[in-house]
């Protein structure tokens, strides 16, 4: 056994856009399901199956791709294409011909996977062969079945007790090798103290082991002491942010439902105009600090200008999240929210979606900024009704 320091992994650089597409679709299914559902509800689109609920059990034959989400999710029938699965307890007990994207707390992969696997969870158990690459990130990752290609593993504890045919990269606090563990490729170990690492010769010969500084781990947050980092700590931070935005958007919808409904309608009807107004308002608020500073005595108002820009941007973000959530619910066939529960569900949908979109490399931050600007524009139009030869009603 060896002790290593583990660093936080930037998941957006590991899975790429297919992973984000999977997470995006699974989240939509999860939030679109009735909150009181006991069993699963879903629909079919072509050869694809979508299902969400409290207990989801996929048993249909002849399905291409599946998108499943719920508290307890079980894949019991073979899938001819890819499987995209998320839940608290997730079990894959039937073969998947192509890729598997799986996320949750307790994950059990107990059937062969014909393509790549990306797994994100607290506890990950793999007891069936994987034909493609494996990328697994969690608190505890246990591999008890063969992996035919490369493996990238990160967590607090990584257990390997199977044959890994490709290169392997590991960053973990504890690494354990079982009697059946072998690595045919190159083993890349990311560690701050290489001298403390011992790998049994039965696993891999010493000439095929490469040590790297922990800072070189792809996606690692450089300069951060992550000895106490865990997947659940990272996950709690993400979920905490989603919860805060959801609560704020729900409170706003409850306190000013009519005003927010009008802002939502105008934002969806005229998105370009709303974006333009938001851009002008934020630019005016942020740019005014230079004018205040130029007057000398007006420098005392610079903090007010900064505060106004920040408040407008944050308010716009909350409004934009809610508008986005209502749009998502509408796309899922749900009516405009009327009750507090429906408004909270829409707020949660928007908060989830904007969080997922923020992980998209290069363009994620632009999407988040656009949502905030649009929300600010909707607020400005509602309060001041600016426009160029435009009549604003209500």
Local structure of residue 337 (DSSP, 8 states): P
| More confidently predicted of 327 and 162 | 162
Number of H helices and E strands in the chain, helices first, is: 7, 14
Render pLDDT for 16-32 as a digit per residue (tens, 0 to 9).
Answer: 333 344 444 444 444 44
- Residue 271 burial (10 A CB sphere; 0-12, 13-18, 19+): middle
State whether residue 69 is helix, strand or coil.
strand
Quote the pTM value.
0.54
Render pLDDT for 126-156 as a digit per residue (tens, 0 to 9).
Answer: 999 999 999 998 889 999 999 999 999 988 8
Contacts of 83 (CB under 8 A, 6+ apart): 65, 66, 68, 75, 92, 96, 99, 100, 101, 102
Q: pLDDT-based confidence at 223, cuts 50/70/90?
A: very low
What is the phi/psi pair of residue 56, to 5°?
Answer: -115, 125
Of the ranges 10-24, 143-157, 239-253, 335-349, which one carries the lowest mean pLDDT score?
A: 10-24
Q: pLDDT-based confidence at 296, cuts 50/70/90?
A: low
pLDDT of the residue at 217: 66
pLDDT of the residue at 110: 97
- Residue 277 burial (10 A CB sphere; 0-12, 13-18, 19+): buried
Render pLDDT for 41-83 as a digit per residue (tens, 0 to 9).
Answer: 456 667 888 776 678 888 888 888 888 877 788 999 999 999 9
213 token code pair:
């500084």
Q: What is the mean pLDDT of residues 301-318?
A: 78
CB of 168 within 8 A of CB of 149?
no
Instruction: Say if residue 210's pLDDT is above 50.
Output: yes
Q: pLDDT-based confidence at 162, cuts 50/70/90?
A: very high
Average pLDDT, the chain: 77
Of the ranges 68-82, 360-374, 380-394, which one carries the lowest mean pLDDT score?
A: 380-394
């Amino acid at each position: 056994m060896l002790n290593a320091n583990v660093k936080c992994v930037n998941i957006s650089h590991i899975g790429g856009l297919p992973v984000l597409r999977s997470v995006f679709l699974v989240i939509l299914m999860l939030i679109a399901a009735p909150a009181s559902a006991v069993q699963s509800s879903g629909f079919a689109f072509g050869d694809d199956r979508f299902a969400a609920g409290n207990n989801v059990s996929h048993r249909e034959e002849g399905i291409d791709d599946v998108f499943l989400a719920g508290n307890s999710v079980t894949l019991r029938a073979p899938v001819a294409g890819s499987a995209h699965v998320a839940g608290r307890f997730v079990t894959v007990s039937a073969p998947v011909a192509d890729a598997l994207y799986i996320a949750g707390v307790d994950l059990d992969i107990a059937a062969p996977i014909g393509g790549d696997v990306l797994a994100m969870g607290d506890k990950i158990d793999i007891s069936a062969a994987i034909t493609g690459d494996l990328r697994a990130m969690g608190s505890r990752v246990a591999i008890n079945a063969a992996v035919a290609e490369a493996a990238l593993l990160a967590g607090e504890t990584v257990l390997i007790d199977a044959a890994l045919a490709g290169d392997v990269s590991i960053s973990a606090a504890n690494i354990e090798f079982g009697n059946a563990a072998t690595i045919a490729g190159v083993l890349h170990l990311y560690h701050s103290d290489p001298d403390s690492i011992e790998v049994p010769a039965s696993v891999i010969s010493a000439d095929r082991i490469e040590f790297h500084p922990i800072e070189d781990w792809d996606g690692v947050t450089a300069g951060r002491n992550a000895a106490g980092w865990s997947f659940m700590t990272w996950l709690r931070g993400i979920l905490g942010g989603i919860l805060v935005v959801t609560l704020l958007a729900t409170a706003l919808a409850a306190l000013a439902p009519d005003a927010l409904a009008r802002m939502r309608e105008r934002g969806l009807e005229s998105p370009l105009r709303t974006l333009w107004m938001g851009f002008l308002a934020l630019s005016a608020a942020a740019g005014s600090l230079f004018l205040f500073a130029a007057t000398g005595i007006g420098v005392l108002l610079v903090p007010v200008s900064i505060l106004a820009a920040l408040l407008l941007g944050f308010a716009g973000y909350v409004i934009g999240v809610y508008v986005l959530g209502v749009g998502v619910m509408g796309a899922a066939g749900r009516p405009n929210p009327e009750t507090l529960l429906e408004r909270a569900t829409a707020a949660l949908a928007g908060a989830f979606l904007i969080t997922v979109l923020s992980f998209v490399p290069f363009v994620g931050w632009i999407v988040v900024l656009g949502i905030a600007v649009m929300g600010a524009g909707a607020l400005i139009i509602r309060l001041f009704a600016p426009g160029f030869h435009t009549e604003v009603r209500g």
